[in-house]
Amino acid sequence: DQQVKQNSPSLSVQEGRISILNCDYTNSMFDYFLWYKKYPAEGPTFLISISSIKDKNEDGRFTVFLNKSAKHLSLHIVPSQPGDSAVYFCAASANSGAGSYQLTFGKGTKLSVIP
């Protein structure tokens, strides 16, 4: 049972255009959502996050939108740059009460920005 789903394994976008990466979740207890970026042979790095009390969070070229009723979030990158080419993981967290702050990850979307 996959609680965080990234249904697009890959996405190609022209440089300068907008990249939209989507993520759906099923667990209504998730209250915090994060996006991680991963280059080959490296560990993922934190990109941007959003709390369930918000519907939008912006950081430079990156904006995350959250639609709680649809259990859907998206990451917008605009304008896209070749250096954005990486695998993007959506992650969600629920307060487990055990102090572990576990994240549940999607399978990732490989973004390729074409110069």
Partner 1 sequence: SQTIHQWPATLVQPVGSPLSLECTVEGTSNPNLYWYRQAAGRGLQLLFYSVGIGQISSEVPQNLSASRPQDRQFILSSKKLLLSDSGFYLCAWSASVGYTFGSGTRLTVV
Question: Can you give the binding site for partner 1, defined by CB under 8 A?
Answer: 6, 32, 34, 36, 41-46, 49, 89, 93, 98-108
CB neighbour list of residue 68: distance below 8 Å, 6 or more residues apart: 52, 55
**Cβ within 8 Å of residue 24, ≥6 positions away:** 4, 5, 6, 7, 70, 71, 72
Nearer to partner 1, 49 or 57 (CB): 49
Q: Which two tokens stand for residue 34?
A: 């994060």
Min CB(57)–partner 1 separation in Å? 13
Q: Considering the complex, state which of residue 32 and residue 65 has its C-beta at the smaller distance from partner 1.
A: 32
Q: How far is the CB of 8 from partner 1 (least distance, A)?
A: 13
In the complex with partner 1, the residue whose CB is nearer, 14 or 102, is 102
